[in-house]
Amino acid sequence: MSKSLSAPTADADPEDHARLTIDLSALSDNWRLMARKSGTARTAAVLKADAYGTGLEPAARTFHAAGARDFFVATPAEGGRLRPIVPDARIFVLSGMWAGSERLFFEYDLVPVIASEEQLAVFMAALSEGADHPCALHVDTGMNRLGLTVADAVALAGDPARPASFSPVLLMSHLACADDPLNAMNRMQLDRFRAARKAYDGIEASLANSAGIFLGEDFHFDLTRPGIALYGGAAVNGMPNPMTPVVKAEARVLQVRHARAGETVSYGAAALLARDSRIAVAAIGYADGYLRSLSGAGVPLRQTGLSGASGYLHGRPVPLIGRVTMDLTHFDVTDLPEGAVKAGDFIELFGPNMPIETVARAGGTIDYVLLTGLGRRYGRHYVEKQR
């Protein structure tokens, strides 16, 4: 369920059990900030996983209007969805081309990111049956995920048997530790990437993801590829997050219960009440991507001594109590004034008052996981705020 709004509204749609408010103006602001930090390099937008859960179509339109002309998706199917929205843009497919996927690349004018000798063979076979087509070449500089080794990439560049029709438009690699600016891996990968780039003189190069942009000019090359930062996530560990929150996730309170000291809450009776309590039961659970590991008790993560997540309601944090279940989660609202919380109220799960990185940390994970795991049951409301 998606709704386009010109401004945020205080009233919930009566159909919403949970809702996402997605600020398109914040998406624009974040892309422009990444573009400024990218210096002379152009700035792309990564739209994987339905634009990190925000919706591929509205996010793509927003980034395109802000100035993005290069986009990265994970699969050719995502690229096919994206093409009608940004007809004049370059769309790179990070998973590359495999046998059986060729038609999508030619039909939607998608640029495969070639990451292996096998993919190169598929690509060249496809070209032998049609016109020339652009590609990018992925070089692995130390992450051991996708890409040719630097040695193989250099050898390919100098191979006299290399078909003339193989002419990459972009050389790229991916940083493994850019979220830790002091990690020596960053400089090591940069040096390896520079070595590969020498063999491909004259084509554009791209190394920096969101965190890589913050590493500085040496890492920017010709094209930067921000992802999580565009959606308000924290890209770099140990520093304040400069990005504007994009997504506010909220859940409807279905009931406010009164329970006595000594009683227990949720599955496993893991939460034992030390005082008489008021408990708001909210319509949210792990079926909505609100992870079970966020629970206030009764999951292995809580054995570490860390507390569970909190929500935000009527001006203050309210702790999660007991286990998150499939569809329902309990929040302790005892410290709010008597009668302040009513059925129909909405608890903020993460957003401007409850930073997503804080919530993710409470669940032993990262903000990427919460955003990309958002379920289908949220009502999605798109807003554009006046800046």
Annotated active-site residue in 198, 231, 267, 385? 267
Q: Extract the tokens encoding 247.
A: 């997504």
Say whether both 254 and 216 belong to one domain: no
pLDDT in tens, 172-193: 999 999 999 999 999 999 999 9
Q: For residue 267, indicate whether it is catalytic.
A: yes
Say whether both 193 and 331 belong to one domain: no
What is the model's pLDDT at position 7? Answer: 35
Say whether both 350 and 303 belong to one domain: yes
Say whether both 290 and 328 belong to one domain: yes
Q: Do the domain assignments include residue 279?
A: yes
What is the model's pLDDT at position 4? Answer: 41
pLDDT in tens, 360-378: 999 999 999 999 999 889 9
| Of 203, 219, 198, 217, nearest in space to 167 by CA | 203
User: What's CA 277's distance to the chain center, in Å?
Assistant: 37
CATH of the domain at 147: 3.20.20.10
CATH of the domain at 357: 2.40.37.10
Say whether both 199 and 275 belong to one domain: no
Q: Do the domain assignments include residue 154?
A: yes
pLDDT in tens, 220-231: 999 999 999 999
Say whether both 170 and 255 belong to one domain: no
Dihedral angle of Cα 125, 129, 135, 137, to the nearest 10 degrees: 10
Q: Do the domain assignments include residue 4?
A: no
Say whether both 185 and 70 belong to one domain: yes
Query: What is the rounded radius of gyration, in angstroms, for the C-alpha atoms of the chain?
Result: 24
Please count the structural domains in the chain: 2
Helix (H) or strand (E) holding 50: helix 48-52
Q: Which of 164, 195, 225 is the last residue of a domain?
A: 225
Which residue range is the domain that position 259 belongs to? 247-383
Q: Extract the tokens encoding 109.
A: 């004018």
387 residues of the chain, pLDDT tens digit each: 444 433 334 456 778 899 999 999 999 999 999 999 999 999 999 999 999 999 999 999 999 999 999 999 999 999 999 999 999 999 999 999 999 999 999 999 999 999 999 999 999 988 876 568 999 999 999 999 999 999 999 999 988 877 777 889 999 999 999 999 999 999 999 999 999 999 998 899 999 999 999 999 999 999 999 999 999 999 999 899 999 999 999 999 999 999 999 999 999 998 999 999 999 999 999 999 999 999 988 888 877 777 889 999 999 999 999 999 999 999 999 999 999 999 999 999 999 999 999 999 999 999 999 999 998 899 999 999 866
Q: For residue 248, indicate whether it is catalytic.
A: no
What is the model's pLDDT at position 148? Answer: 97
pLDDT in tens, 21-51: 999 999 999 999 999 999 999 999 999 999 9
Annotated active-site residue in 3, 48, 286, 382? 48
Say whether both 158 and 218 belong to one domain: yes
Q: Do the domain assignments include residue 157?
A: yes
Average pLDDT score, the chain: 93
